[in-house]
Structure 1
Amino acid sequence: MDLNLSGKRALVTGSSAGLGEATARFLAAEGAAVVIHGRDRGRVESVVEAVRAAGGDATAVLGDLSTDEGAAEVARAATADGPVDVLVNNAGFYRHLSWTDASPQEWADTYNVNVVSGVRMIQRLVPAMRERGWGRVITIGGGLALQPMSTHPQYNATLAARHNLAVSLARDLAGSGVTSNVVSPGAILVDATQELVTGIGPARGWGSTWEEILPNAVEALIPNDRGRFGKPDEIAAAVAYLCSDLAEYVSGATIRVDGGLIKGAF
């Protein structure tokens, strides 16, 4: 299926690893020119080289989106070779903290990185999309926006804010030719997920090897209809669909990619 992304330029924030990297690679394979963003030059350039080696078009931008100056520099560099048609707000972070340990400053810092950073990029890139009459904004959210855990409350709340701002943006963009949507992943098996589960598995009696731990971790942490963790490319595919002309009638929507998550404890 042709998603008609050739000739489109896509900036994927936080794309030097994990879901962001998988999304950038997928969009490049579909013909988009991708802008790889991160703060570590070596990791960013490694992804750029991998995309190019696979026949794709990729450029690198470095910058800290948690400051106005850093966001402005990323926007400038991302548009140096042409306008950005697709913005994937993926960058974010969390720390596994309890309600007691998550200080007000931690809440403020997490909100700045996970919410305001995305707003900075929207305000810098979306006006030009509106002027051209075409654009796509995809925000990477998460199931914890609706089913928060008791732990890392500062992170759960920022996911809810990301979902909310994406719908508000869709309303603002009505009639412009630009859409705004959310892709909401469940528990996706990236390196950090495997490291976490492997670390806690033996103490919880799930086994000592990855083969033993994996099914028990799914059952205990993320019971879902598919009975497994998600794959990064499954998130990337949902993003690619929303970037395409096939999703022209989809705006203000949340696309869950979580295997039919029943009740996550992750």
Structure 2
Amino acid sequence: MDLQLHDRRALVTGSTSGLGEATVRMLAAEGAAVVVHGRNAARAQAIADDIVAAGGRASVAIGDLTTDAGADAVAEAALAGGPVDILVNNAGAYEHLNWNEATPQAWAETYDQNVISGVRMIQRLVPAMRERDWGRVITIGGGLGGQPMNTHPQYNATLAARHNLAVSLARDLKGTGVTSNVVAPGAILVPAVQDFLVGIAGDRGWGDTWADIELNSVRELVPNDANRFGRPDEIAGAVTYLCGPLADYITGASIRVDGGTVRGVQ
């Protein structure tokens, strides 16, 4: 299927690993010119070079989005190659903290990393989308924004804020041709998660093979109807669809990619 992205340019924040990397690679494979963003120039350039070697179009933008200066640098680098039609706000961070460990400073830092960083890029790139009567803003959210765990409360709250700001932005963009949506992943298998699960599998009695470890860890930690963890490309696929004109009629929506973890109408 041609998602009609050949004439579009996309910036994916936090795209030097994990979901962001999978997304920037898939957008490039669909024909979009992509901007790989990160704080490590070597890692970003390596991904961009790999995309170009595969026949795609890619450049890099380096900067810390928790500062205005960093956001300015990223926007300037991204716009150097032409207008940015698609902004995927993926960059973020979290720590496994309990309620006693999550100090007010940790809350503030997490909010800056996960919420205000995205606002900075929206304010720098979306006005020009509005002027051109077309654009896409995709925010990576998560199920913990609506069904929070008792741990890392500072992170759960920022996911809720990301969902909320995306819908507010969609209302503000009414009738402009620019849409704002959320892709909400469930538990996704990235290398760090797999390493962690294998490391504790023996103590939990989950088995010796990865097939057994995945099935048993999902049942115990993140039960869902698919009986497995999601894969980064499954998130990237949802994002990539929302970026194209076939998704013109979708805005203010939250697309869950969670294996059926969340039940009921959301």
What TM-score does the superposition give when structure 1 sets the normalisation length? 0.96
Q: Confirm or deny: 8 A CA contact 1:222 1:262 kept in the other structure.
A: no
Look up the SS of the partner of 1:166 in the other structure.
helix
Paired amino acid for 2:7: G
1:146 match:
146
Distance 2:113 2:34 in 1: 22
- For the aligned residue pairs, the C-alpha RMSD in angstroms reads 1.1
Q: Give the superposition deviation at 1:208.
A: 4.2
Letter of the structure 2 residue corresponding to residue 226 of structure 1: A
Written as runs of structure 1 = structure 2, the 5 A alignment for 1:17-166 is 17-166=17-166
Deviation at 1:133, TM superposition (A): 0.4
Aligned to 1:5: 5
Question: How far apart, in 2, do the equivalents of 1:179 and 1:125 lie?
Answer: 13
Structure 1: gaps (5+ residues): none
Aligned pair count? Answer: 263
Runs of 4+ in structure 1 displaced over 4 angstroms? none
Give the structure-2-normalised TM-score. 0.96
Structure 2 contact 71–120 (Cα < 8 Å) conserved: yes
Tell me how far apart the structure 2 counterparts of residues 22 and 40 of structure 1 sit (CA, whole Å).
17
Which amino acid letter does the alignment assign opposite residue 92 of structure 1?
G
Letter in 1 for 2:254: T
Q: 2:213 aligns to what? A: 213
CA apart distance, 1:43: 1.1
C-alpha distance in 2, partners of 1:54/1:23?
15
* Residue 262 of structure 1, CA deviation: 4.8
Contact 1:225 1:262 in 2 (8 A): no
Distance 1:191 1:48 in 2: 21
Contact 2:37 2:60 in 1 (8 A): yes
Unaligned ranges ≥5, structure 2 = none
Deviation, 1:200, is 2.6
Amino acid at match of 1:61: A
**C-alpha distance after superposition, 1:63-116 (max 9, x if no partner):** 000001100110010000101000000000000010010110000000000000
Q: Secondary structure at the match of 2:34?
A: strand
Aligned to 2:168: 168
Match of 1:199, SS?
helix
